[in-house]
Amino acid sequence: MSDTRDETPDYGDWEPVIGLEVHAQLLTESKLFCGCSASFGAAPNAHTCPVCMGFPGVLPVLNERALEFAIRTGIATGCTIPTRARWARKNYFYPDLPKGYQISMFDEPLAIGGGIDVETPAGTKRVRLTRIHMEEDAGKNIHDTDDAHSLVDLNRAGVPLMEIVSEPDIASAAEAADYLRTLRSLLQYLEVCDGNLEQGSFRCDANVSVRKKGDPKLGTRTEIKNINSFRNVERAIDSEIRRQIDLIESGGTVRQETRGWDADRGRTLAMRSKEDAHDYRYFPEPDLLPLEVPRERIEAIRGELPELPAARRDRFVEQYGIPDYDAGVLTARRDLADYYEAAVRTHPNPKALSNWVMGDVLRTVRERGLDEALVIRDWPVSAESLGRLVARIDDGTISGKIAKTVLEEMLASGAEPDDVIERKGLRQVTDAGAITGAVEEVLAANPDKVAEYRGGKDKLLGFFVGQIMKATGGKANPQAVNQILRARLGEPGTSSGG
Shortest spacing between CB 25 and other proteins, in angstroms: 14
Considering only 191, 279, 304, 307, the residue that binds other proteins (CB under 8 A) is 279
Q: φ, ψ for residue 217 (rounded to 5)?
A: -85, 135
Query: Checking DSSP bridges between strand 222-227 and strand 202-212, what pairing results, if any?
Result: antiparallel
172 part of the interface to other proteins, by CB under 8 A: no
Distance CA 73, CA 193 (A): 10
Is the CB of 97 or the CB of 393 nearer to other proteins? 97
300 binds other proteins (CB under 8 A): no
Residue 46 interacts with other proteins (CB under 8 A): yes or no: yes
Q: Is 95 in the site for other proteins (CB under 8 A)?
A: yes
Give 435: exposed, middle or buried? Use CB within 10 Å, 0-12, 13-18, 19+.
buried
- Using CB under 8 A as the binding rule, whether residue 153 contacts other proteins is answered as yes
Among 75, 116, 154, 476, binds other proteins (CB under 8 A): 154
CA 22, distance to chain mean position in Å, is: 15
Query: Over 182-216, what HEC string results?
Result: HHHHHHHHCCCCCCCCCCCCEEEEEEEEEEECCCC
Residue 298 binding other proteins, by CB under 8 A: no
Please identify, among the stretches 73-81, 277-285, 404-412, 482-490, the one whose residues bind other proteins according to the rule CB under 8 A. Answer: 277-285
By CB under 8 A, the count of residues binding other proteins is 60
77: nearest Cα among 33, 127, 41, 31: 127
CB of 426 to other proteins, least distance (A): 50
CA distance 463 to 446: 11
Q: Which of 122, 218, 269, 412 binds other proteins (CB under 8 A)?
A: 269
Mutual orientation of helices 295-303 and 64-76 as an angle, nearest 10°? Answer: 70
| Identified binder of other proteins from the candidate list 4, 13, 43, 296, rule CB under 8 A | 43
Which range of residues in 181-189, 236-244, 262-270, 429-437 is near other proteins by CB under 8 A? 262-270
Pairing of strands 222-227, 258-262: parallel
Closer to other proteins at the Cβ: 104 or 185?
104
Kindly tell me which of 187 and 375 has the beta carbon lying closer to other proteins.
Answer: 187
Site for other proteins contains 348 (CB under 8 A) = no
Rounded CA-CA distance 336/318 in Å is 18
Task: Specify the stretch interacting with other proteins by CB under 8 A; choose among 48-56, 333-341, 375-383, 401-409.
Answer: 48-56
Calculate ∠ Cα 435-438-444, nearest 5°. Answer: 140
Give yes or no for a contact between 209 and 224, defined as CB atoms under 8 angstroms apart: no
> What is the smallest separation between the CB atom of 45 and other proteins, expressed in angstroms?
4
In this structure, are residues 262 and 246 in contact, taking their beta carbons and an 8 Å threshold? Answer: no
The residues of the shown chain that bind other proteins, judged by CB under 8 A, are 28-30, 34-37, 42-50, 53, 55, 61-67, 84, 86-87, 91, 93-95, 141-143, 145, 147-154, 260, 262, 269-272, 276, 279, 281, 284, 288-293
